[in-house]
Each structure stands twice: as C-alpha cells, then as structure tokens.
C-alpha cells in the first residue's frame, strides 16, 4: 500500500500481501483476555485508559474522534454523560497515529493509512511494517520489501505493527477494561493497584 501525497491510497511497488514463501513463520499475536471473557472484542476501554496505553493526551484522543481519524468502534459518545469505548484494535491505531505524528508524517497521509488498516482487518500483523519517507506511507509485508524500499531511498523510518500490538497489549493488561455486554469493570494486573487494594483492606 502506498499512501500518496493527496491523501489517497494507491497501489505501489509493494503488494499489500506477499506470497507465503516470502514470509518467516512466527507465532500470531493474541492479546491477553481476562478470565470470564471469551474474546478480545468483548472488552472496551474508556478514553483515559486508551490514552495511557497509546501514549497520547485526552485532547488528542478527543480531536481524533471528532474529526473521524480514529473513532471508537465499541461505543461513540452520545452527548454529555456518555463515555467513548475503544476496542483493542482502536488503541493500536491510536499508538500508530501517535508514532507517525511524532516523526512528521502529514495528517492527510496518516488518515489514509488508518483507513487502509481498518479495511484490511489487521491481518498478518507479525509481518507488517509501515515505512515512510515523511511524505508517503508504504506497507511492507516481508523483509525483502523493506530492503527494496530502503534501497530505493523511499523509506526513512518504519513502524513494526506487531511490536506496537505487543506494547499496547502489555499496557492494557495493567489497566482497567470494561465488558461490552455487561459494563463490568475488568481490573488489570497492576502491582500498584494490588498494593492499594491491600492497604484499603488493612485500613
């Protein structure tokens, strides 16, 4: 995938999915699912939790939601008093957007990349690397494609999506989630939280 300067996604020299022969077989990435929850899609994360895991401010989160860059796929905000609820994949997108912004990629190109990733369904994350020269975003699905891109002088920096996925998984495992079906709060495995609970019991 090549995200061109006008914000459209065009077919580039690097296919969206390479052949299986080009890929190194790796273990798939599976987010941690708390006991009693059947799938990662059954968990939602409120705005402050999504911000903490993605490393962004609430102002950024709010702006990106209102402008449609990264909208919460579990539950949008319906006026005052309602809380946005983000999915695990939404938080991965938030972190990817943050990394691209930090390296100076134009928001228009980031928007095209987000749309492409959503449409693609996050398949083959272990093999996906997003490369950019600051003006264009390329998707590489094999090491050979990364090398060709660098040799062509087009890739200045890259984001390994599988690494971002793992970082978000590790962060969210220590934060609180919410069951989509019941609204029950799922307490993360945070040592500081456990210490607080012990102090409360002792007091």
Domain edges within the chain? 41-122+162-202
Q: What is the pLDDT of residue 8?
A: 37
Task: Give the CATH fold of the 41-122+162-202 domain.
Answer: Multidrug-efflux Transporter Regulator; Chain: A; Domain 2 (1.10.1660)
**With 80 as the cut, is the pLDDT of residue 114 above it?**
yes
- Residue 91: the pLDDT is 95
Whether residue 96 contacts residue 130, with contact meaning beta carbons closer than 8 Å, is answered with yes
- Separation CA 157–CA 146 (nearest Å): 10
Q: Pick the residue with more confidence: 40 or 60?
A: 60
Q: Is 167 a residue whose pLDDT tops 50? A: yes
Most confident listed range (48-62, 93-107, 119-133): 48-62
* Token code pair at residue 147: 């090398």
Q: Smallest Cα–Cα separation from 175: which of 53, 37, 31? A: 53
Residue with the two structure tokens 């975003």? 137
Round the average pLDDT of the chain to a whole number and report it. Answer: 74
């Amino acid at each position: 995938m090549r995200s061109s300067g006008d914000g459209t996604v065009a077919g580039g020299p690097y296919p969206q999915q390479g052949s299986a022969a080009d890929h190194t077989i790796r273990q798939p990435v599976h987010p941690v699912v708390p006991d009693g929850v059947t799938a990662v899609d059954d968990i939602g994360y409120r705005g402050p939790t999504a911000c903490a895991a993605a490393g962004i401010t609430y102002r950024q989160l709010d702006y990106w939601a209102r402008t449609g860059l990264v909208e919460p796929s579990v539950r949008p905000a319906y006026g005052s008093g309602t809380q946005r609820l983000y999915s695990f994949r939404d938080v991965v997108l938030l972190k990817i957007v943050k990394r691209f912004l930090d390296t100076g990629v134009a928001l228009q190109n980031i928007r095209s990349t987000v749309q492409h990733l959503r449409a693609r369904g996050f398949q083959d994350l272990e093999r996906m690397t997003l490369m950019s020269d600051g003006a264009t975003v390329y998707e590489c699905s094999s090491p050979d494609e990364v090398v060709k891109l660098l040799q062509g002088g087009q890739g200045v920096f890259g984001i390994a999506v599988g690494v971002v996925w793992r970082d978000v998984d590790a962060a969210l495992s220590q934060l609180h989630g919410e069951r989509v079906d019941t609204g029950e709060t799922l307490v993360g495995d945070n040592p500081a939280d456990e210490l607080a609970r012990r102090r409360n019991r002792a007091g």
